[in-house]
């Protein structure tokens, strides 16, 4: 017996917004359930879901695990502002399956400066995880405030001002003799 679901036009528009936003943006913010912070991840859109590759020599997935949930926030590619936030279920993609092969092909095109483009799928199968984040539930409403937060602690430091004499050294004219 087939199950039929009734979806409103708003549901289709929400789904279209998520899909278009995910296809156009190369970066999203992921907050795994129970984690205090959202983290940026590069991703691709494949077969109705966001896919990410991580761990090993790739981006850290910071507590993102299979059979869990997460909140995803997609941003505008041109302005960088928040477009849409939605819940997603997380599942692992198993190496050697057709879903894995399709995900690798899609992610490979988004991976910048890979040292091993021809054999990247083999390396990912050995060292990394590919996770599928499928949108579920309604879109979150846009917040009334800016949602600013204290930055995550890091050993990185702010660059110091350039020395006053540096522009003179860089842009001084060479005299012809």
CA 22/CA 163 separation, integer angstroms: 42
Average pLDDT (156-168) is 78
Question: Could you report the per-residue pLDDT of 102-148, keeping only the tens digit for each?
Answer: 999 999 988 888 888 888 999 999 999 999 999 998 888 877 777 67
Compute the mean pLDDT over every residue in the chain, rounded to the nearest whole number: 85
In a domain, 157, yes or no: no
Domain coverage including residue 118? 9-141
Average pLDDT (26-52) is 92
What CATH number did the domain enclosing 78 receive?
A: 2.30.110.10
Q: Which of 65, 55, 44 is nearest to 128 (CA)?
A: 55
Residues 6+ apart with CB under 8 A from 49: 88, 132, 133, 134, 135
In a domain, 155, yes or no: no
- pLDDT score of 109: 87
Residues 6+ apart with CB under 8 A from 43: 22, 26, 27, 28, 50, 51, 52, 110, 133
Give phi and psi for 168, each to the nearest 5.
-65, -40
Region of 111 on the Ramachandran plot (φ > 0 left; ψ -120 to 50 alpha; else beta)? beta
pLDDT-derived band at 158 (thresholds 50, 70, 90) equals confident
CA atoms within 13 A on the CB side of 113: 2
Question: Could you report the per-residue pLDDT of 34-44, keeping only the tens digit for each?
Answer: 988 889 999 99
Q: How many domains, in total, are found in the chain? A: 1
90 vs 26, residue with greater confidence: 90
pLDDT-derived band at 3 (thresholds 50, 70, 90) equals very low
In a domain, 177, yes or no: no
Query: pTM of this prediction?
Result: 0.76
- pLDDT score of 5: 55
- pLDDT score of 1: 44
For residue 176, the SS3 value is coil
């Amino acid at each position: 017996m087939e199950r039929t679901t009734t979806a409103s036009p708003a549901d289709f528009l929400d789904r279209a917004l998520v899909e278009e936003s995910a296809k156009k943006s190369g970066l999203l913010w992921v907050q795994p359930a129970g984690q205090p912070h959202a983290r940026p991840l590069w991703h691709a859109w494949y077969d109705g879901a966001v896919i990410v590759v991580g761990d090993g020599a790739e981006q850290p997935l910071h507590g993102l695990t299979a059979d869990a949930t997460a909140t995803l926030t997609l941003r505008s590619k041109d302005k960088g502002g928040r477009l849409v936030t939605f819940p997603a279920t997380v599942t692992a993609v198993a190496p050697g399956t057709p879903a894995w092969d399709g995900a690798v092909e899609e992610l490979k095109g988004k991976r910048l400066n890979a040292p091993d483009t021809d054999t990247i799928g083999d390396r990912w199968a050995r060292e990394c995880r590919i996770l599928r984040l499928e949108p579920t539930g309604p879109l979150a409403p846009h917040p009334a405030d800016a949602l600013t937060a204290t930055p995550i602690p890091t050993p990185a430091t702010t660059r110091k001002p350039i020395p006053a004499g540096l522009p003179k050294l860089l842009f001084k004219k060479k005299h012809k003799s």
